[in-house]
């Protein structure tokens, strides 16, 4: 099976400090610089030659990467399906530049309580996420919410689903995975996810929850296809093996005369030998890192394959409903979730209830400037650093 997905890390920087993620604070990530856009575009051409269909531009916070619109435009011109998951706190600054360039636009949100949001994310960004969803819809995008259920946040998931129903978006609901010491959901937590999956506007990947309950990847009979199905590229232009989260090898990508050797590297004997070992290393035992299993479950046919197909069909149904609602104004959502009064209050309390797309800086209110300060600082720090070319 050729690789179908590329997880392209544009930056490890982030303006949030989520409790279940260590990417922006991991010591070895801090000194890593971003790559110039022309280098990324050369790698995209190599991914195209390999047969990759989907590129997920990720981070860190991918919207911190200064040349994101340039890279996305190139990816779209090459025919890739593009995906970005972001915090939603910087999107209003770049929404117009990104319009029409992201096929799968996702905002991360796990609560409708601004104080709980600040505790989980380390910044006061709840109102920005609501604003981002509204702006995205105003621009004709069909965004989704990613809701990561932790032992602390799972009790708030029904309200998040209710908020998504009010805003007319789909929630991708899943359990926090076992990385950087996260406390995991128990069986009761997974049962709660399955209950929530019965509501409209919510999708749970049944294959992943079943895999989660089964104890994750087993090295004696591995289910992970991280190298086969997914290519992972670092911000500083390295192929990571076997994946970002557990990589023990960084292979420098070479560029000559405007061409990347990424495709040749992936087909090399060394990478193919490592490919034969995917899912069998000691650190693979019990792994439930979702970034690689969605594509791993595409083959071979087994119970995870079938449950993944079922989940994708539900996702397609909900996205079609979202499209019809957007185009027709009809309200097709029937099974409502959450405390409606609390949900409506959370939306109406948003000071930017009427979407406004990036006012000139001189017109922004002082409070809005204060909310953006943290994100802008991270972005400006990234822009001041000279991009290192990886040409050899």
Contact 221, 270 (CB under 8 A): no
The span from the CA of 321 to the CA of 203, in Å, is 13
β-bridge partners, 149 = 175
Q: What is the mean pLDDT of residues 263-270?
A: 98
| DSSP characters over 40-65 | HHHHHHHHHHHT--EEEEESS-GGGS
Side-chain half-sphere CA neighbours of 213 within 13 A: 13
The span from the CA of 205 to the CA of 210, in Å, is 9
Interval 297-326: pLDDT, tens:
999 999 999 999 999 999 999 999 999 999
| DSSP characters over 81-141 | EEEEEE-SSSHHHHHHHHTTS-SEEEEE---S-HHHHHHHHSS--HHHHHHHHHHHHHTT-
Per the prediction, the chain carries an average pLDDT of 90
The span from the CA of 383 to the CA of 339, in Å, is 42
- Of 374, 316, 343, the residue nearest 109 (C-alpha): 343
- Of 144, 198, 148, the residue nearest 169 (C-alpha): 144
How many C-beta atoms surround the C-beta of residue 207 within 10 A?
25
Contact 311, 204 (CB under 8 A): yes
pLDDT at residue 382, as a whole number: 47
pLDDT at residue 357, as a whole number: 53
pLDDT at residue 178, as a whole number: 82
The span from the CA of 139 to the CA of 119, in Å, is 31
The DSSP symbol for 346 reads H
CA–CA distance from 78 to each of 86, 190, 255, 256 (Å)? Answer: 23, 39, 19, 20
Q: How far is CA 193 from the centre of its chain?
A: 19
Query: pTM of the entire structure?
Result: 0.89
Interval 210-264: pLDDT, tens:
999 999 999 999 999 999 999 999 999 999 999 999 999 999 999 999 999 999 9
Using the structure block, give the residue that is written with the tokens 């890390």.
Answer: 9
The span from the CA of 163 to the CA of 166, in Å, is 5
> Backbone phi, then psi, for 341, in 5-degree steps?
-60, -45
> Backbone phi, then psi, for 388, in 5-degree steps?
-90, 125
The span from the CA of 379 to the CA of 342, in Å, is 34
H or E element in which residue 9 lies:
strand 5-9
The span from the CA of 15 to the CA of 226, in Å, is 28
- Counting residues of the chain whose pLDDT is more than 90, the rounded percentage is 84
The span from the CA of 235 to the CA of 124, in Å, is 27
- pLDDT band at 199; cut points 50, 70, 90: very high
What are the chain's domains? Answer: 5-383 (3.20.20.70)
Largest CA distance in the chain: 61
Alpha-helix runs per DSSP H in the chain: 37-50, 68-77, 91-98, 114-121, 126-138, 157-167, 187-196, 206-213, 226-229, 262-267, 269-275, 290-296, 303-328, 340-348, 366-384
Interval 336-375: pLDDT, tens:
999 999 999 888 866 554 445 554 444 444 444 444 455 5
As given in the structure block, the two tokens for residue 347 are: 């939306």
Interval 342-353: pLDDT, tens:
999 888 866 554
């Amino acid at each position: 099976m050729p690789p179908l997905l590329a997880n392209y890390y544009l930056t490890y920087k982030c303006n949030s400090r989520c409790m279940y993620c260590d990417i922006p604070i991991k010591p070895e990530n801090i000194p890593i610089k971003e790559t110039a856009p022309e280098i990324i575009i050369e790698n995209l051409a190599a991914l195209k030659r390999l047969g990759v269909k989907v590129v997920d531009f990720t981070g860190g916070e991918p919207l911190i990467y200064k040349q994101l619109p340039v890279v996305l435009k190139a990816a779209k011109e090459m025919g890739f399906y593009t995906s970005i998951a972001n915090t939603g706190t910087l999107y209003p600054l770049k929404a117009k530049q990104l319009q029409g360039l992201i096929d799968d636009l996702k905002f991360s949100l796990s609560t409708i309580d601004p104080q709980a949001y600040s505790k989980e994310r380390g910044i006061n960004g709840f109102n920005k996420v609501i604003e981002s969803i509204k702006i995205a819809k105003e621009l004709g995008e069909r965004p989704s919410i990613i809701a990561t259920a932790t032992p602390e946040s799972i009790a708030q998931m029904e309200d998040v689903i209710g908020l998504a129903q009010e805003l007319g978006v789909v929630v991708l609901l899943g359990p926090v995975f076992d990385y950087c010491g996260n406390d995991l959901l128990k069986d009761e937590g997974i049962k709660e996810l399955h209950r929530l999956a019965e509501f409209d506007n919510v999708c749970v990947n049944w294959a992943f929850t079943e895999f989660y309950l089964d104890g994750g990847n087993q090295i004696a009979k591995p289910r992970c296809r991280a190298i086969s199905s997914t290519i992972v590229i670092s911000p500083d232009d390295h192929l990571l093996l076997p994946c970002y989260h557990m990589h023990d090898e960084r292979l420098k990508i070479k560029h000559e005369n405007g061409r990347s050797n990424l495709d040749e590297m992936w087909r090399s004997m060394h990478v193919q030998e490592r490919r034969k070992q995917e899912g069998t290393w000691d650190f693979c035992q019990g792994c439930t890192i979702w970034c690689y299993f969605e594509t791993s479950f595409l083959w071979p046919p087994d119970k995870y394959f079938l449950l993944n197909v079922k989940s994708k069909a539900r996702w397609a149904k909900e996205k079609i409903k979202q499209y019809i609602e957007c185009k027709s104004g009809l309200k097709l959502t029937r099974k409502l979730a959450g405390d409606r009064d609390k949900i409506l209050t959370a939306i109406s309390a948003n000071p930017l209830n009427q979407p406004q797309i990036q006012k000139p800086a001189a017109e922004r209110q002082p409070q809005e400037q204060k909310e953006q300060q943290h994100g802008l600082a991270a972005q400006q720090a990234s822009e001041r650093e000279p991009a290192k070319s990886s040409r050899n």
